[in-house]
Amino acid sequence: MTWYHREWLNSEMRLKGTEECRALYFDLICLSQDQKPVGTLPDDPEQLAKLLAVDVARLRRLSEMEYGPLHHWQPCRCGDQIRLMHGRVTAMVIEALARKHDNRARNEAANAAKRRQRLRSAVAGIHPDLAQNDAAVLWMDDWLVEQGCGYRGSAWVERAITAWSNHMFDMTRAARPRE
């Protein structure tokens, strides 16, 4: 969960809400991170009271306050359900998901680069000139991935080189004019 502490420290909720309301408000934000969909809450005072471990009558009374625990939480449709959402919490969830996807993409790109470098080194041990051909290394890497090759031992590298050679032969033959 991303938490913008400076924004929180200067928010109306923090500055105008009671200690109890602020604590429950923060708990609701934290609890929403484990809900489905993430960042939402049930639109049911009894469920919310159980989640917060407070009496439902007390939660209702506090929620009637201008800066109560449900300050700026509003109903939204989630499939066939009505749940509660908070605009700032939704923005935090979207940002966290974007960071997660960015990190995953960055890790996958780094892993692919390392995998290709290892393949280039393995090809260099068999055919040094071919290892200098970036297009060949990329093509062989893609071919090995398509084959579902997890461990790239010398037998698999040799198969990839053979597949590359056959591919180039087919490309050359297809490019020749027919007589």
pLDDT value for 77: 95
**Residue 179 scores a pLDDT above 70:** no
Query: Residues 38-57: pLDDT tens digits?
Result: 999 999 999 999 999 999 99
Question: Which range, of 13-22, 46-55, 166-175, averages the lowest pLDDT?
Answer: 166-175
Kindly report the number of other CB atoms within 10 A of residue 96's CB atom: 15
Question: What's the CA gap between 93 and 33, in Å, rounded?
Answer: 8
Per domain, the residue ranges of the chain are: 5-93, 127-175
**What's the rounded mean pLDDT across residues 162-166?**
96
Looking at the domain that runs over 5-93, which CATH code has it been given? 1.10.10
**Residue 1 scores a pLDDT above 80:** no
Q: At 173, is the pLDDT very low, low, confident or very high (cuts 50, 70, 90)?
A: confident
**What's the rounded mean pLDDT across residues 2-8?**
86
Query: Residues 56-110: pLDDT tens digits?
Result: 999 999 999 999 999 999 999 999 999 999 999 999 999 988 999 999 999 999 9
pLDDT value for 132: 96
Q: Is 53 left (phi over 0), alpha (psi -120 to 50) or beta?
A: left
**Residue 174 scores a pLDDT above 90:** no
